[in-house]
Chains A and B, each alone.
Chain A
Amino acid sequence: MIDDEKKTKRLALVASKGTLDMAYPPLIMASTAAAMGWEAGIFFTFYGLNILDRDKLDRLKVAPLGNPAAPPPLAAVPLGVPTFLGALPGMTGIATAMMKSWMRKAKMPSIRELLDMCLEGDVQLFACATTMGVMGVKQEQLIQGAKCAGATTFLSYAADADVSLFI
């Protein structure tokens, strides 16, 4: 019993999406877990791998198309905008700029800053080996600290986790 209580807790996350809005939750969860003294690891797979890509991680975007939760691009216009207008050229850029501006106003860190906090807290960053193979991503394209690993490695890590989430 006592040993059980002393065991360090572990968080295992899968980050499967590569949009700006979906990059925040896994990094916030993992950095918080590390701050509480937990072990934490994130398996970045499919488009989620973009979060570890040196050239892409600062340019993740918000997709307004097919996202009815996206607010209208003109805050002054109280009417909702039909979601199909998200298909217009430039709408993705506008939605992305809006979210970045909210984040700045709320003094939230950038994705890169959150990744640094995760690394500082010894969060394991697993880069899905299959995604790297399928999408032709080389280790050199990934940030320092990212480790190429397969599902076997992650499942073995997650088997000892107290909390596992798929994002």
Chain B
Amino acid sequence: MTKAEIASTLDCRGLLCPIPIIKLSKAVKGVEVGAVIEMLATDPGSVPDMEAFEKQTGHRVLDRTEANGVFRFLVQRAK
């Protein structure tokens, strides 16, 4: 996924549950269907939480990577 295809970036580094999911939910509502949001987080709980978010909302987690303790998720708005 190239940078050009990312509609917006949400920096949740240093934030704990429930803030990243609340911010992500707002961010998803702010982009077009099909658009991709890049989300950065440091909370290890965000890994299972993002899987649950995908399962519950239908928005797709296209990619998940980790580097130096920072998790990067690409989330695509489904509807």
Contact = CB atoms under 8 A, between A and B. Distances in A.
Contacts of A114: 18
Most buried by A among B17, B19, B53: B19
Given A107-B14, A108-B16, A32 B57 contact: no
Give the dominant DSSP class at B's interface. helix
A121 B25 CA distance: 10
A88 interface: no
A107 B25 contact: no
Contacts, number: 38
B18 A28 contact: yes
B15 A107 contact: yes
B15 A32 contact: no
Contacts of A109: 19
Contacts of A66: none
A117 B21 CA distance: 12
Contacts of A38: 56
A106 B18 contact: no
Interface in B34-59: 52-53, 56-57
A28 B17 contact: yes
B56 A106 contact: no
A37 B77 CA distance: 13
B16 A107 contact: yes
Contacts of B4: none
Chain A, interface SS category: loop
B22 A35 contact: yes
Interface string B43-79: 0000000001100110000000000000000000000
11 contacts: A31-B18, A32-B17, A35-B18, A35-B21, A35-B22, A36-B21, A36-B25, A36-B56, A107-B15, A117-B18, A121-B22
Given A36-B25, A37-B25, A107-B15, 13 more contacts: A9-B56, A31-B18, A32-B18, A34-B22, A34-B25, A35-B18, A35-B21, A35-B25, A36-B56, A37-B56, A106-B16, A107-B19, A109-B19
- Across chains A and B, which 8 residue pairs bring their CB atoms closest together, nearest first? A35-B25, A32-B18, A36-B56, A35-B22, A35-B21, A28-B18, A31-B18, A36-B57
